Amino acid sequence: MQIAILGCGYVGLVSGACLAEIGHSVVCSDNDEGKIRTLIAGGLPIYEPYLSEIVTRNVAAGRLSFTADLGEAVRHGDVVFICVGTPPLQDGDADLSAIDGAARLIAVEARSSKLVVEKSTVPMQTGQKLTRALAIYGRNSKNSFTVASNPEFLREGTAVLDFLHPDRIVIGVSDEPAETKLREIYRPILEQSALPCPIHQRDCPTKDTPALLVTSINSAELIKHACNSFLAVKISYANLIADICEKMGADVEEVMRAMGLDPRIGPAFLRPGLGFGGFCLPKDIQAFIRLGEKAGVDVSLLRSAELINKRRIDHFLTNATHWLWTLKDKRIGVLGLSFKPNTDDIRFAPAVDLIGRLLQEHAQVRVYDPEAMAKTRELFPAIHYGADAYEVAEGSEALMIVTEWDSFRDLDWPRIRSLMQRPLVLDGRNLLNGKEMVAMGFEYQGVGIPPAETWGPNAAQPVEAPLAQRLRT
């Protein structure tokens, strides 16, 4: 099919490239001319594993192209996917101005009837408003516009795999022709045997045929918010248990492991740490709270989950102050800037909040991340960016692990210890084994791990230790 993509962000670019990979003719467009120039020149505005090779292959095959002329893209597509941003407003509502702009563009530029598909995460009933907007803006046109919802479930860092090998595909439609067209678009993915593997065979997941769920448009819009809000609640619950474990002397890793073995709960997202970030979960839980409030529903559960998440940096810095006494003038290394590994996305990343707070405390901040340094430098141009983790560790009085990149686990930690002024590791993701770190001579503090098991016999005690014990130390 001929497909147009409006918006070349994480969702639009991955969706467009993967739709081309399964055989469709795709034109991706964006009003950011610099982004389009980068794509036409063969670069990528984002980092996502496997995306570069898929884009390169399909551009060469003539199935994928890019343009800053959004009207050109609309005229190309029989189906138009709206993948524009819906950032949060100050009150938590989603800003749908870009959706409205897309409706006006489609109605004015279309030269034939279109199936218009919401791919952006939007509040429930947006489809109704989009249908009305298309009718108003296209009232002088002979073309007809049908609206459908097709929420994305792409995880940054595994987005290509998630698109080509999904657990489920949800389509919200109001008529049979729209369902038929969307089924045809996704047929190669639904029939996995017809899908050529775009990546090295060892990395391809071997999944069963994905489920296709056909729902109303309202239900499809609600599904994405419901999923993301549940995941946010699950993460915040794990952090609540972690705080209790720290106070009461239990080990959160043991607790979460036992909980995860319960098939009713499962282990996914039961990971305590610095909380959730990125552009999806924080934005979506805010929008879902606002949606519930407008519907007159008690959303205190969601508000509590959001509040727990917002307090994670406070808790982490409290632990840091216990160890360091004061953060002022202390050289502190930060490992990890992106909100999760395998991406360069720093939107709502805990590292951004953490660095800002450290600078407020007049700490000397040194940072390193395998992919997100350039984007972070735009926010914090004055801090020191290390060439690698070892440069960041040199002379530091504490090393904070903020993003759980696998490469950090595999560092030469004895070398790190020899470089540091004080071998203190504050592990905000429980990436490392605390007992092994202590055995190597580190002071180590994880999340939700009892201090008695992690300080070691010769390590400094926190400020609230009994006075006599502190005097002996």
Q: What is the pLDDT of residue 196?
A: 59
Question: Considering the entire predicted model, what is its pTM?
Answer: 0.86
Would you give per-residue pLDDT tens digits along the chain (473 residues)? Answer: 999 999 999 999 999 999 999 999 999 999 999 999 999 999 999 999 999 999 999 999 999 999 999 999 999 999 999 999 988 888 888 889 999 999 999 999 999 999 999 998 888 899 999 999 999 999 888 889 999 999 999 999 999 999 999 999 999 999 999 999 999 999 999 987 666 555 545 566 656 678 899 999 999 999 999 999 999 999 999 999 999 999 888 999 999 999 999 999 999 999 999 999 988 888 889 989 998 999 999 999 999 999 999 999 999 999 999 999 999 999 999 999 999 999 999 999 999 999 999 999 999 999 999 999 999 999 999 999 999 999 999 999 999 999 999 999 999 999 999 999 999 999 999 999 999 999 999 999 999 987 644 444 444 444 343 333 333 34
The 3-state secondary structure of 394-421 reads CCCCEEEECCCCHHHHCCCHHHHHHHCC
CATH architecture of 2-215: 3-Layer(aba) Sandwich (3.40)
Nearest to 283, CA basis, from 3, 53, 9: 9
Return d(Cα 446, Cα 429) in angstroms, integer: 7
Run of H or E including 254: helix 252-260
Residue 347: how many CB atoms within 10 A of its CB?
Answer: 17
Buried b (16+ CB within 10 A) or exposed e, 301-334: ebeebbebbeebbebbbebbebbbeebeebbbbb
Domains 2-215 and 312-472 share a fold: yes
Q: What is the pLDDT of residue 377?
A: 97
* 432, 401 Cβ separation under 8 angstroms: yes
> Looking at the domain 312-472, which fold is it?
Rossmann fold (3.40.50)
Domain boundaries along the sequence of the chain: 2-215, 223-310, 312-472
What topology is assigned to 223-310 in CATH? N-(1-d-carboxylethyl)-l-norvaline Dehydrogenase; domain 2 (1.10.1040)
Catalytic: 280?
yes
Residue 362 half-sphere exposure, CB side, CA atoms within 13 Å? 3
